[in-house]
Structure 1
Amino acid sequence: KEHLHTREQAGLFDISHMKLFEVSGPGAAALLARACPLDAGALDISQSKYTFFLNEAAGIIDDLIITRLGDERFMVVANAGNAATDEKHLRALAADFDAKVDALDRVFLAIQGPAAWAALARAGIETGSLLFMHGIEPRQNWFMSRSGYTGEDGFEIGLPEADARALVARLLEDERVLWIGLAARDSLRLEAGLCLHGQDITPEIDPASAGLMWAIPK
């Protein structure tokens, strides 16, 4: 039921187990280029990119989405089970760069499905100018991206707890929106052919072996 509802209308997910890191400073782009097979400095402002933290053997420590927020500011979205490892890895690398890594305390929500944009608009959140695989800061201490992990159009919003409670209440007033559990999120991403770290990709598997070379710029 939850799986089909997301495909047909809009599913609301609490993904606060995932972690947001802000990387900033004159060396932020260079730090991320060292940590990932990504030229972070070539990203446009608000552009997001799927990428990886790799170990010395090119094994996938974690898969991530990095968004450029400004000339010297980036948002890194890390997976839940790897957040502590990711933070340790990134901070260790940051010692060699003029860059700061801040772990943000945010509620993180995702709304996915064909009615997601309309439900957000009804709740007072305009999404029309936000393109797929882009992210913005629509309000103070908010981060919103348009990517998704279900194969549907969708949005992710990181925001303070009080704001999150108010937004959730407004969204759930819309009959098109239902809370969706993580089991349905897993079946949705499987149906869409999306990888799960720890299951499909691990530190022992490199991007080439995982069929993910499309995510590495030439």
Structure 2
Amino acid sequence: MLSALRLARSIPTTNAARSVQRAYSAAATSEMVPFAGWSMPVQYSNLGVGASHNWTRTNASVFDVSHMLATRITGKDRVKFYETLTVADIENLPVGSSTLSVFTNENGGIIDDTIICKHQDSLYIVSNAGCADKDLAHIRSHLKEFQNKGGDVDLKIIDDHSLIALQGPKAAPVLEGLIGKDLRDLPFMDGRFITIKGIECHVARSGYTGEDGFEISVPNSDAVEFTKMLVSDPRVELAGLGARDSLRLEAGLCLYGHDLDDTITPVEAGLTWTIGKRRRIEGGFLGAATIQDQLKNGVSRRRIGLVVQGAPAREGAQIFANGELVGKVTSGCPSPSTKKNVAMGYVKNGLHKSGTELEVEVRGRKQKAVVTKMPFVPAGYHKV
């Protein structure tokens, strides 16, 4: 009953080389797809994508997210260094807390989105597998420059651990049963080191489904056994890329390379909240001048959510207002939770307000669509 868990992992210099041997069981689907140099399951044989999605919303699912790039940043100047690369206010982030942030380029575009967890002696960073090569090249080039100027900072790729996501409203009771203690004092976006059945783990209360859940970093040697413990609970099922995509879209969460890229700024993407208040004033990160100007004077396009009538609108579908082409869809799918067709995209500024009526062209036909606030389903994040 194993997911597509890796038995070993390395971070080589090319995506093709990043493919690693993984263990599969009869539960794994025969439909595997290449994803950022990895072979990943779209779904598992016991549950289709829709059923897996609904199971996650009502119970708990395990996602193998070991393909994500995890790094540890150390040195007394680690916060100062990482604030040159991201828009986060790491200095004022409490120890044990995490924040979603973005790496920016010189034009304010998003190189990648990332999670930064602040510990007493280090920063624990998780970013996207598909961006691993360019992220590392970007970080290392600036790291070398920073170090040459006397900065005390170092980067270590965490290649000896796997990352397992346990997501859904039953995730907490499942994990509490293994730990033997209550986790109500661990709020969403906080992380700590916890021993689970003798296994030393980093447990972050986070995820990308819109539900309560955890992302658990486990030593490679223990990853398969740890996942066996999770899926032995009748409240837990395995889930693949199909459910992960529809869950994150319902939650209004962006997928890099689709809803975000290096031409889109965090202001255009509706991610202004990731820019710390101090950072908005002080800047100090790549592209700060562009982003500060947008914060003051506005942008020409905005990310929106849509509910689309008729057939589902997929990525690339054009968006119209009164016959004028005004934008395009970046993600879209039928929503298993709402039974509606939902989508995300970018339109001209001024057309982004909730309730605005638009049209989306699908298969050569224009269909009615309405701008809708995101998330499309209420978030289930745990708050203390």
Q: Note if 1:163 corresponds to 2:222.
A: yes
What letter is aligned with 1:7? R
Task: Give unpaired runs (5+ residues) of structure 2.
Answer: 1-50, 278-384
2:130 maps to what in 1? 81
Pick the structure with more strand per residue: 2
Q: Is the 8 A contact 2:89 2:275 kept in 1?
A: no
Q: CA deviation at 1:128?
A: 3.3
What letter is aligned with 1:43? L
* Distance across 1 between alignment mates of 2:261 and 2:200: 32
Task: Give unpaired runs (5+ residues) of structure 1.
Answer: none
State the TM-score, normalized to the length of structure 2: 0.55
2:142 maps to what in 1? 93
Q: Note if 1:61 corresponds to 2:111.
A: yes
Q: Is the 8 A contact 2:78 2:122 kept in 1?
A: yes
Q: Note if 1:206 corresponds to 2:265.
A: yes
Identity %: 40
Q: Is the 8 A contact 1:29 1:39 kept in 2?
A: no
Moved more, 82-91 or 47-56: 82-91
Q: Note if 1:107 corresponds to 2:166.
A: no
Corresponding residue pairs, total: 217
Pick the structure with more helix per residue: 1
Q: CA deviation at 1:43?
A: 1.3
Q: CA deviation at 1:129?
A: 2.9
Q: Note if 1:123 corresponds to 2:178.
A: yes
* Distance across 1 between alignment mates of 2:123 and 2:57: 31
1:5 maps to what in 2? 55
Moved more, 15-24 or 132-141: 132-141
Distance of aligned partners of 1:107 and 1:125 in 2 relative to their CA distance in 1, 3 Å threshold: farther
Q: Is the 8 A contact 1:29 1:41 kept in 2?
A: yes
Q: Is the 8 A contact 1:62 1:197 kept in 2?
A: yes
List per-residue Cα deviations over 1:96-154 (Å, max 9, x = no partner). Answer: 13100000011100000000011112223643332111111224863211111001001
Q: Is the 8 A contact 1:132 1:147 kept in 2?
A: yes
What letter is aligned with 2:189? M
State the TM-score, normalized to the length of structure 1: 0.95
Q: CA deviation at 1:171?
A: 1.0
Alignment of 1:177-192 (within 5 A): 177-192=236-251
Bigger Rg, which one: 2
Q: Is the 8 A contact 1:37 1:217 kept in 2?
A: yes
* Distance across 1 between alignment mates of 2:205 and 2:153: 26
Considering only aligned residues, what root-mean-square deviation do their CA atoms show, in Å? 1.4
SS at match of 1:142: strand
